[in-house]
Amino acid sequence: MKDLCAAMGICWHEDMSEYGKPSGAMLCRWCGRMFPGDHVRNPSPTDPAFCWRVLQYMMGREDWEKFYDETWTIAKRDCFPTLYNYQASRFTKWLLSDPARFIGLADEWCREHKEVKA
């Protein structure tokens, strides 16, 4: 998800350095945000709100239709092999009903297609 977050302009907080020994605060070296102790908050792949942000981002990309079509083709082959007339509307429901699945597919797509702008 690190690449997806970077493409969306969201800092994936890592490479933390200990900022203050007494307080135990941690500092993200990328964005400079300070976190108390080990309470780093990166986006969660199971968070529906983050899924919505990813969907908006993906739909804004120039290659949204290509992503959708290729994912649909792979899903028909791998997930629904016995359903020859599986409807695209059902695919959309399948794609978005599990935030972690959708975000994982979007993350993989963004890693492979970094050159495309949103």
What is the extent of the structural domain holding 38? Answer: 1-42
Which residues make beta-bridge pairs with 27? Answer: 17, 34
Clarify whether residues 14 and 28 are in a common domain. Answer: yes
Clarify whether residues 97 and 65 are in a common domain. Answer: yes
Q: For position 52, what pLDDT does the model report?
A: 93
Phi, psi of 83 (to 5 degrees): -100, 90
User: What's the CA gap between 88 and 101, in Å, rounded?
Assistant: 17
Tell me how long the chain is. 118
Stretch 56-79: mean pLDDT: 89
**Tens digits of residue pLDDT in 54-63:** 999 999 999 9
Clarify whether residues 37 and 51 are in a common domain. Answer: no
Clarify whether residues 115 and 98 are in a common domain. Answer: yes
Q: In the numeric block, which tokens belong to residue 59?
A: 């739909």
As a 3-state breakdown, the chain gives helix, strand, coil percent values, each rounded to 5, of 50, 10, 40
Phi, psi of 34 (to 5 degrees): -100, 140
Please check whether residue 18 is in contact with residue 26, taking contact to mean a CB–CB distance below 8 angstroms: yes
Stretch 79-106: mean pLDDT: 79
Clarify whether residues 69 and 113 are in a common domain. Answer: yes
Q: How many domains are there within the chain?
A: 2
* Confidence bin at 65 (pLDDT 50/70/90): very high
Clarify whether residues 66 and 98 are in a common domain. Answer: yes
pTM, to two decimals:
0.77
Sorted by sequence, the CB contacts under 8 Å of residue 110 that are 6+ apart come out as 3, 4, 7
Stretch 2-26: mean pLDDT: 75
